């Protein structure tokens, strides 16, 4: 078994007994270690893939992307990793990963996420909408509008609900701007 498999199994074993507060504390420590150079960005992956808590998964994914920010090549690789977690269904909370990549990845992330937006469940879209940052870049806003356009006129119940959720998120944006 790979070291990552062991790390994920260990995380899943602790999950039922650890509170979200305890897991957030461990995530903060891991983020500090990675930021200071004493840890590996891969140490953040179990938090992103194996947790269910929106805040933990989103923060771990953001930290993973941030750890690669200094190098364009590493940044692209981190975005690709995160997108693969969603595409392959490796994460327990795909919506939180999607939101974190969308919020922090810019135009490149939007390009990579475009093919996945219609694969999300209604619950995952609700998570994305809940976690959208108050301040969004142009690429993210454009991405959301295009996503909404894809859902326009859909007759399927789940897609209509997704359209409503995205519309509401964008209406909130217009209200904040006014």
Residue spans of the domains in the chain: they are 3-177
Q: How far apart are CA 149 and CA 157, in angstroms?
A: 16
pLDDT per position in the chain (178 positions), as tens?
A: 788 888 888 888 888 889 999 999 999 999 999 999 888 999 999 999 999 999 999 999 999 999 988 788 899 999 999 999 999 999 999 999 999 999 986 899 999 999 999 999 999 999 999 999 888 888 999 999 999 999 998 889 989 999 999 999 887 554 444 3
Q: How far apart are CA 53 and CA 162, in angstroms?
A: 21
Report H helices in the chain: 3-14, 20-36, 45-50, 54-67, 72-87, 94-104, 106-113, 122-131, 138-151, 157-177
């Amino acid at each position: 078994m790979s070291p990552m498999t062991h790390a994920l199994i260990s995380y899943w074993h602790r999950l039922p007994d650890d509170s979200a507060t305890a897991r957030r504390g461990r995530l903060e420590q891991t983020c500090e270690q990675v930021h200071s150079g004493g840890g590996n960005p891969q140490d953040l992956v179990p938090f992103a893939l194996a947790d269910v808590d929106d805040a933990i998964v989103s923060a771990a994914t953001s930290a993973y992307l941030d750890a690669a920010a200094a190098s364009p090549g590493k940044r692209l690789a981190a975005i690709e990793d995160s997108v693969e977690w969603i595409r392959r269904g490796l994460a327990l909370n795909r919506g939180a990963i999607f939101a974190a990549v969308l919020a922090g990845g810019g135009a490149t992330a939007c390009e990579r996420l475009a093919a996945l937006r219609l694969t999300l469940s209604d619950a995952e879209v609700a998570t994305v909408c809940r976690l959208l940052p108050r301040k969004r870049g142009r690429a993210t806003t454009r991405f959301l509008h295009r996503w909404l356009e894809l859902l326009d006129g859909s007759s399927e119940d789940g897609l209509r609900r997704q359209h409503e959720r995205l519309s509401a998120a964008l209406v909130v944006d217009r209200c904040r701007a006014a």
